Structure 1
């Protein structure tokens, strides 16, 4: 049973957590890696480690997103794997939320996912090959109090993924949505000594993305949930 082969990955919304783990894993697996983020100053070390190219990009700006893809096209590095990992949170009582802040958060969490997916699909469809992965959250399955904005954005992203999977999968594009159901471990958020493995290991999440990427098309998943073993659901 043949597994799909991928050569070039673009990760949009790159930081020190999951995106960094994905970049390292993709690079180890032989893919060329491109990293896109609004701020690139903290990504130099990761780029050096993975050989990734860096691209300044506001994911909610159609022209900026298109420019990243055009730049990669010109360099012969058009991605056949695209991961959208950007999001924005605005937390607070519904009646106190600033509409401008809510709009901006929605643009990053959901509209940006559409922009990136659209550019990716335009390049993948003629080849009948590619993968578009969208990073979701618990908030895309159930909305929590004081978190209306994040819930709206992640619900929209999940709907986008489901619609794209139904439209693009029969045309050879693997679309998958990942529900990250729990907190992710980081230097700023270490695992408590009294609760081992109670936070998601970003390297372990990345391995799940890779396993999904390697699925044969006869058994594609459109949605994957990952959660710590002690997380309630």
Structure 2
């Protein structure tokens, strides 16, 4: 079994890499800066691949590798957050937000679908494509229009792909992470008010493991104290 995480780093993507490795997956990690992946790759036995997910040529090159071509699970995790009043936002920075949050997801999902559809169908499906969403994909916040645009587009991509690809045996899941994620830089103040990245990974692995008679196209995870 092979898995590919695009936009790998610390936090949720690292937790999912560990969870997949424990389940027996060979993991491939892709990021613009592969140097930051050395410790995680050593821990999980993963291969590392340099890739700017918003660059069509680099995504095509990534999926020319045996690890990406064989991936049964593909996670698109890159994100780019731009904040500021609408009157002061730089257009090129807004463009980059949309490229990273949405256009890159299209590029990776397209390549992953091509690889998965080229395989003969098996019991349970051809593979799983995961898209990491955020609160901004279901509610736009002030001074955060570009991020909302990107994440709303990502959610629309996930829904459209689920309707197109589920009948062809590819499970597409948009993961709404509705709340802050705890980390060494952002410790939980207590009582699980921030999302535990390992808990997000467990919820995601459960979605990967769903029987095709009861596939979810979207899951939402939030701390128990987070308001809707």
TM range (shorter): over 0.9
Q: Which runs of 5+ in 2 are unaligned?
A: none
Instruction: Output one character per residue of 1:111-158: Cα deviation in whole Å (capped at 9) or x when no partner.
Output: 000000000000111324010000000100010000001000000000
Tell me, what secondary structure is at the counterpart of 2:195?
coil
Q: Take 2:62 and 2:27, find their aligned partners in 1: how far apart are those partners?
A: 13
Aligned residues: 223
Q: Which runs of 5+ in 1 are unaligned?
A: 1-6
Matched, 1:204 2:199: yes
> Contact between 2:177 and 2:222, CA under 8 Å: does it hold in 1?
yes
Aligned residue for 2:167?
170
Q: Take 1:42 and 1:122, find their aligned partners in 2: how far apart are those partners?
A: 29
1:57 CA drift (Å): 0.5
Tell me, what secondary structure is at the counterpart of 2:213?
helix
Aligned residue for 1:107?
99
Instruction: Output one character per residue of 1:59-107: Cα deviation in whole Å (capped at 9) or x when no partner.
Output: 0001101111111x2x686211100011100100011000000001110
1:42 CA drift (Å): 1.4
Equivalent residues in 2 for 1:1-233 (5 A)?
Answer: 7-71=1-65, 73=66, 78-127=70-119, 128=121, 129-192=126-189, 195-233=190-228
Q: TM-score, normalised by structure 1?
A: 0.94
Q: TM-score, normalised by structure 2?
A: 0.96
Q: Take 2:18 and 2:216, find their aligned partners in 1: how far apart are those partners?
A: 23
> Contact between 1:12 and 1:35, CA under 8 Å: does it hold in 2?
yes
Q: Take 1:58 and 1:98, find their aligned partners in 2: how far apart are those partners?
A: 21
**Cα gap change, 1:174 to 1:76, in 2 (>3 Å):** closer
Q: Take 2:40 and 2:5, find their aligned partners in 1: how far apart are those partners?
A: 13
Q: Take 1:206 and 1:144, find their aligned partners in 2: how far apart are those partners?
A: 26
Aligned residue for 1:3?
none
> Contact between 1:37 and 1:58, CA under 8 Å: does it hold in 2?
yes
> Contact between 1:32 and 1:77, CA under 8 Å: does it hold in 2?
no
Tell me, what secondary structure is at the counterpart of 2:133?
strand
Q: Take 1:49 and 1:137, find their aligned partners in 2: how far apart are those partners?
A: 27
Segments of 4+ moved more than 2 angstroms: none
